[in-house]
Structure 1
């Protein structure tokens, strides 16, 4: 399963901390879309889909959350709780984000613009898709 946790370089002094991210340097792809989620209610699960070709970096820039990642053969649970850590998720990985702290802000850097045809939103269809490869 191609999942990598990155620790981004931090620059800090008495004024606070700064993390700068550059495509093809800190992020292994060209960034074409950025979005974030916040005010996620207690007990809510987000995601519940996979992408056919999209790559992503997820960064919990405030608070914490957990991710369940599944490549069709194995599942992993990963926690995100540091604003200088990012989780790379390649394509063909089912993802579910859950256990959001009340103050969580989860930012996603994506390798392409939104394309509905890239989503696999049904788990059984996901299993068929990854087993055909």
Structure 2
């Protein structure tokens, strides 16, 4: 299946509201794949960018646990910017989509729920190579 930006979606996670503080949770069945790795980005310097790659066979969900940041997604034909700033909302990025993370606020934390363990062979890190890959 050729993935496009039409395959990108927000996922709202359940929140238990309480006067002592809210609790959001993610459990089995809440996301459209089984995950094997969770990692997070923090202390991103002002003006720095993260991402700059696509995955061949991996879904990911990005969540702004604290602060905010922008996610610029590119399917090889069009681009769209998503701003993440709510800890109970994730952005589901399917395979075959180039991503760049920019505009991190001070104290921003980006949580990533990855479908599989780290595998360098799954990454496309060169944009021209990505465009060739998308053309098939």
Q: With structure 2 as the length reference, what TM-score do the two structures score?
A: 0.94
Q: How does 1:70-81 map to 2 (within 5 A)?
A: 70-81=74-85
Structure 1 runs of 4+ with >3 Å offset: none
How far the C-alpha of 1:20 sits from its partner, in A, is 1.1
Equivalent of residue 17 in structure 2, options 9, 12, 30 = 12
How far the C-alpha of 1:35 sits from its partner, in A, is 0.1
How far the C-alpha of 1:48 sits from its partner, in A, is 0.1
Any stretches of 5+ residues in structure 1 without a counterpart? none
How far the C-alpha of 1:102 sits from its partner, in A, is 0.8
How far the C-alpha of 1:6 sits from its partner, in A, is 1.1
Matched, 1:44 2:74: no
RMSD over equivalenced CA pairs, Å: 0.7
Any stretches of 5+ residues in structure 2 without a counterpart? none
Q: Distance in 2 between matches of 1:123 and 1:59?
A: 24
Q: Which residue number corresponds to residue 99 of structure 1? A: 103
Q: How does 1:1-133 map to 2 (within 5 A)?
A: 1=5, 2-23=7-28, 25-132=29-136
